[in-house]
A and B are shown apart, each in its own frame.
Chain A
Amino acid sequence: MILNDVITEVRRILQDINAPQRYSDAVLLGFANQALKRIAVLRPDLFAYMGEIPTTAGAVIQSAPADSIRIMEIFQVKDGAGVTEVSRDSLDETYPGWMNDAAGPTVNWMRHVRNANRFFIYPKAPANQILIGEYAQTPQNYDGATTVALLSDAYFPVVVDAAVFIAESVDNEHVNSNRAQLFQQSFTQALGVSAQSRPITDTEESGLPPDLVI
């Protein structure tokens, strides 16, 4: 998916093809980029990025990379063992001195519930340790010709709907509030329904009650 295709489709829906156009390409590109970011906020899982997360040596409190919306999972130490998610409360209650143990390869990680981009590891990180993990990545500001990363082409109509909704929300005489609402509902519903349909594809029972599956 490239945003120039999104712009073309948005112009068709807005009937803004002929000169003089109401919206310039630059403005619609801004709307398309904004649409991507709105989708990322509503469905961060669609921008899940799996890669390296460097750690700060000597610290148990770690930060996700700067382009992270929220940390999703830590899988392993790079070239090392797997890392399991555990309860920080249990560690605090049972072993209050855990933050002061000597640095070593990470064995456990814990979410910071009130801070989506911070997390804890046990024990303290040694120098030059890199974790392999997954986080929701903030979409960059794309030019019209660059392929949008991570988001599947199947979401092209959703991006278009979101861009049309934004275009129809501009405060001028051309907009139609009802159409803005229509496209907002369309894009949010598409995201919601796609999340709800995951049991169909992601489970052995395909979303059916277990007693209906042989």
Chain B
Amino acid sequence: MATRTFLSLATRLATSVPGCPQPVIVQYVRDAAIEVCERTLSWRYMQPIIRVTPGVYEYPYTNPTGSEVHAFLTATINGEHLEPVTLEQLAGMYPDWPSTAVDKRSDPRLICQIDPDNFVIAPIPDNSKVYDIKMIVALKPLRDSTGMDKTVFDELEDTIMHGALQHLLVLPDKHWSDRELAAYHSKQYLYKTTERRARANIGAARATMTVKMRPFA
């Protein structure tokens, strides 16, 4: 995975925020990149297969360096769908989880993200067979990352630029403060994040999506 640095976008932004130090621009580019990734779920990544250990319900994600998981998009275990649920739903369905007795363990059917680094599965896996989890996740850069996947960054560059500028231009009492321009970039940012999210959702397809009408009753 080729990485592109946030610094590489700084020169493009510099003319819009004259007098703004480069590290400040880079910081806002990184923050915008995180936000754009969260909103569009465009940085998609297939995790290496995770081999489940009997009795172990919590697993760490294995992401590229400098990234963390914002959400998982699909998860299967041995080719079967893992149902994403909230932690409350999981606890409601399996009240004895995670202290399930050994004889009540079985094949996992539910998955829930605990935090950007870890997820849990339920029921607690038994040792009747080998379980392998496949996942596609949506990533975002870490707060101290210096860059992100080049392909994704190239794709989201305009959106990230507008996101960074909308925040930089509303900083109070700076040489470059300009609320009118900030409003312009804010609108562009909103438009582009929506467009990028829709594009990611339909798999970057060109054809119009069709929706089957649901009966009212």
Contacts and interface: CB of A to CB of B under 8 A. Distances in A.
A87 B175 contact: yes
A90 B174 contact: yes
B201 interface: no
A34 B183 CA distance: 56
Nearest to A107: B22
Contact of A95 (B14, B27, B174): B27
Contacts of B20: 86-87, 90
A62 B85 CA distance: 58
B19 interface: yes
A113 to B, nearest CB: 14
Contact of A98 (B21, B171, B174, B175): B21
B215 interface: no
B153 to A, nearest CB: 20
A91 B23 CA distance: 8
A87 B27 CA distance: 16
A92 B171 CA distance: 14
Interface residues of B, number: 11
A87 B174 contact: yes
A166 B23 CA distance: 51
Contact of B24 (A84, A94, A101): A94
Contacts of B171: 90
Interface in A2-22: none
B24 A122 contact: no
Contacts of A86: 19-22
Nearest to A88: B21
Contact of A108 (B22, B27, B174): B22
Interface string B91-102: 000000000000
Interface in A91-113: 91, 94-95, 98, 101, 107-108, 110
Interface string B7-42: 000000010000111111001000000000000000
A91 B24 contact: yes
Nearest to A94: B24
B146 to A, nearest CB: 11
Contacts of A153: none
B19 A98 contact: no
A156 to B, nearest CB: 39
Contacts of B175: 87
Contacts of A90: 19-21, 24, 171, 174
A115 to B, nearest CB: 20
A85 interface: yes
B16 to A, nearest CB: 13
Given A84-B14, A87-B174, A94 B27 contact: yes
A110 B175 CA distance: 14
A102 to B, nearest CB: 12
Contacts of B22: 84, 86, 107-108, 122
Contact of A87 (B14, B19, B23): B19
Contacts of B27: 94-95
Nearest to A85: B19
Nearest to B22: A107
Interface of A: 84-88, 90-91, 94-95, 98, 101, 107-108, 110, 122
Interface of B: 14, 19-24, 27, 171, 174-175
Given A90-B19, A94-B21, A95-B27, 11 more contacts: A86-B22, A87-B20, A90-B21, A90-B24, A90-B171, A91-B21, A95-B21, A95-B23, A101-B23, A108-B22, A122-B22
26 contacts: A84-B14, A86-B19, A86-B20, A86-B21, A86-B22, A87-B19, A87-B20, A87-B21, A87-B174, A88-B21, A90-B19, A90-B171, A91-B21, A91-B23, A91-B24, A94-B21, A94-B23, A94-B27, A95-B21, A98-B21, A98-B23, A101-B23, A108-B21, A108-B22, A122-B22, A122-B23
